[in-house]
Structure 1
């Protein structure tokens, strides 16, 4: 009996040690898991932060193309302007304005202005330190005018601008370039707070921007101005 008791005692002792060992192992595993989780979380957070930082361009160029103009940013102006800027300096991102650019001018420009305001404010919310450059060709120039407060329907019929950029976002605009802007026919030009940051191109004889102009070919000639426009943008954008 003593042997059995002793054996039982030994077994109980061994069992107790086993439980203690299991508890210790579980505790160690739990600590290791917690440490690994914390490390993984910190690493993931740091990686996400770094990735988000990398996604933020120094400056984003928002480009509104002309009526039914082909190309991602527009084959006449936008694509060539982007290529020129990229060849001269790193740090630019480019975003086309999502709008119809259709012959239904008033509704198309309204959609464009609303989209441009949304795109700019969204970009600045994600990357609040970036600068903004605006470029518009033909109908796209009117979209740019709209968000800056020189509205197409306002020019024709009076009343408030349809979709104006909020003041906090407007302060991020470093440069504005427009090409063949129909608003010039109404003697409407970008001015006020944007005067020193804006440059408008109207080719001689272009009937879309010059009263009594007769040279339709002039309206598709603005690719030759993208070099000068790029210089203007770079002179006003810290990049």
Structure 2
């Protein structure tokens, strides 16, 4: 019940004030230094995601002044369908593979919020099956491209409620934010509004990413 209420709050917020936020212009397919690949949460409005993607991208632009940045909004439904996260998983991996082939010197920052974090988890080879709006893995970033993933920024990551997290080669490059009481990422959490507060972590996330670029 708490999870459904949290998703309902996010849906209603998307139809209210969040959609009016000024968002940065997103670009894709350019051979920039850093490509920020953002995966929005369930029903989240905004260019890259009003709660996380847009503020994180803006913060990265401020932090990485010596780098050229581009951005990509992962193309997936971001709804409650059983295949939503899997579609995002496939699109994220396809985008990284394509960009890496076209731009040999480009590196990536992966950003995922809520269901979007599931998408990123899967793309790194960590299954989100069984988590809120999770799915089995359908594609993973090739091992040869792993060194080009500079940082992974996750917010309200549903696999944390299962006692899981990003491990292995990506662990030291991952910042995984879970607000106290957020029922999506904290087992037993009871503060549904905590899931909507991750804009406050944008600067800290960008600082973490900048230290690894």
Pick from 77, 80, 85 the counterpart of residue 100 of structure 1.
77
Cα displacement (A) at 1:151: 1.4
Cα displacement (A) at 1:188: 1.2
Task: Please identify the structure whose Cα radius of gyration is greater.
Answer: 1
User: Are 1:185 and 2:185 an aligned pair?
Assistant: no
Q: Tell me the secondary structure at the aligned position of residue 189 of structure 1.
A: coil
1:114 aligns with 90
1:162 aligns with 138
- How many corresponding residue pairs? 180
Please say if residues 63 and 207 of structure 2, whose CA atoms lie closer than 8 Å, have aligned partners that are also in contact.
no
* Gaps in structure 2 of 5+ consecutive residues: 1-28
Please say if residues 135 and 144 of structure 1, whose CA atoms lie closer than 8 Å, have aligned partners that are also in contact.
yes
Please say if residues 154 and 161 of structure 1, whose CA atoms lie closer than 8 Å, have aligned partners that are also in contact.
no
Write the deviation string for residues 60-119 of structure 1: whole angstroms up to 9, x where unpaired: 010000001000100001000111111232411111101000111x31010000000000
CA RMSD of aligned residues (A): 1.7
User: Are 1:197 and 2:197 an aligned pair?
Assistant: no
* Gaps in structure 1 of 5+ consecutive residues: 1-53
Counterparts of 1:4-15 in structure 2, within 5 Å, are none
Cα displacement (A) at 1:178: 0.2
1:139 aligns with 115
TM-score normalised by length of structure 2: 0.81
Task: Report the Cα distance in structure 1 between the residues aligned to 2:149 and 2:114, rounded to whole angstroms.
Answer: 20
Q: Tell me the secondary structure at the aligned position of residue 236 of structure 1.
A: coil
Please say if residues 151 and 162 of structure 1, whose CA atoms lie closer than 8 Å, have aligned partners that are also in contact.
no
TM-score normalised by length of structure 1: 0.72
More contact order relative to length (CA 8 Å, sep ≥ 6) = 2
